[in-house]
């Protein structure tokens, strides 16, 4: 469980296994613990590193929202790779972590061997919509600081985006809620201000520059992100799209077995091709 000094902050990383490197990036309000149900399976074939993105989990939560900007998040990921002596890796990211993975693959193509993007987005292309989203994120960030982490987590979990998670077993939902509550409120607020979709410049015009094998995963119940994934598939050369029936936004949580199978089969094909 190393904490690595990167760009003036301590970044927590959980590592397991051996083999080709695989880096896992969680979503907003998540942490490396978000991958607990998958780490052991992935580690049977890969050297896995699950990162606590800045402001999340056991990583630092700096007071400056600018430290959370996408450029710094990319530097954090590259710093993790350098510390762990990982030259080229498969990057897998969920939601916010998917945006970070995609941005890293575009900014540092020599460090990325494959991409897995689950319920991810290249950002918001429309300027007016970005302005609206930035205002919404700033309002939520203020409410986190004023109302505390417990009130925020309750509000976050009531979003329609996560309605499909109501059918999960109570024990699973309790673990997820407990993990979210362990996050630092400053980290949550500044993540919204620093790397929310309202402030991140969109990546749509760079999608055709992604030249590595790419797997896009979305849940069939999450119509918005199914549409986003379909558009990304059209623009990323050779991208593969998998829509998982009965799943919402968090496919890795709601249909864990299917998610693991899709990722393992995809990475297996990638590494088989690399050896040929």
List the chain pLDDT tens, one digit each, 276 residues. Answer: 678 999 999 999 999 999 999 999 999 999 999 999 899 999 999 999 999 999 999 999 999 999 999 999 999 999 999 999 999 999 999 999 999 999 999 999 999 999 999 999 999 999 999 999 999 999 999 999 999 999 999 999 999 989 999 889 999 999 999 999 999 999 999 999 999 999 999 999 999 999 999 999 999 999 999 999 999 999 999 999 999 999 999 999 999 999 999 999 999 999 877 665
Cross-sheet strand order for the sheet of 89-94? 3-6, 9-16, 47-51, 21-25, 89-94, 112-118, 214-219, 240-244
Which run of H or E residues covers position 223? helix 223-235
pTM recorded for the entire structure:
0.97
Break the chain into its structural domains and give their ranges. 3-122+201-275
Q: Name 224's Cβ contacts closer than 8 Å, sequence gap at least 6.
A: none
* Protein fold of 3-122+201-275: Rossmann fold (3.40.50)
Quick check: helix, strand or coil at residue 45? coil
Please state, in angstroms and as integers, the Cα–Cα distance from residue 9 to each residue in 70, 101, 210, following that order.
15, 19, 29
pLDDT in the model for residue 276: 56
Q: Name 36's Cβ contacts closer than 8 Å, sequence gap at least 6.
A: none
Quick check: helix, strand or coil at residue 118? strand
Measured distance CA(73)–CA(255) in Å, rounded: 28
């Amino acid at each position: 469980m190393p904490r690595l000094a990167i760009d003036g902050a301590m970044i927590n990383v959980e590592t397991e296994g051996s083999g080709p490197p695989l880096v896992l990036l969680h979503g907003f309000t998540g942490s490396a613990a978000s991958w607990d149900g998958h780490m052991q399976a992935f580690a049977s074939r890969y050297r896995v590193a699950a990162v606590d993105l800045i402001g999340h989990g056991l990583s630092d939560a700096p007071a400056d929202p600018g430290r959370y900007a996408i450029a710094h998040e990319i530097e954090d990921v590259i710093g993790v790779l350098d510390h762990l002596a990982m030259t080229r890796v498969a990057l897998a990211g969920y939601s916010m972590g998917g945006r970070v993975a995609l941005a890293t693959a575009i900014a540092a193509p020599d460090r990325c061997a494959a991409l897995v993007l689950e319920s991810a987005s290249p950002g918001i292309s429309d300027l007016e919509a970005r302005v609206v989203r930035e205002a919404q994120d700033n309002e939520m960030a203020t409410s986190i600081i004023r109302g505390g982490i417990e009130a925020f987590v309750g509000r976050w979990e009531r979003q329609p985006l996560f309605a499909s998670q109501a059918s999960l077993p109570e024990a699973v939902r309790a673990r997820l809620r407990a993990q979210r509550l362990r996050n630092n409120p400053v980290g949550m607020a500044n993540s919204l201000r620093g790397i929310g979709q309202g402030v991140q410049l969109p990546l749509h015009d760079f999608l055709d520059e992604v030249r590595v094998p790419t797997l896009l995963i979305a849940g069939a119940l999450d119509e918005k992100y199914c549409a986003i994934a379909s558009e990304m598939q059209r623009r990323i050369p050779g991208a593969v799209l998998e829509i998982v029936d009965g799943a919402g936004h968090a496919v890795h949580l709601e249909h864990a077995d299917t998610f693991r199978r899709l990722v393992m089969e995809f990475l297996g094909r990638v590494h088989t091709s690399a050896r040929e």
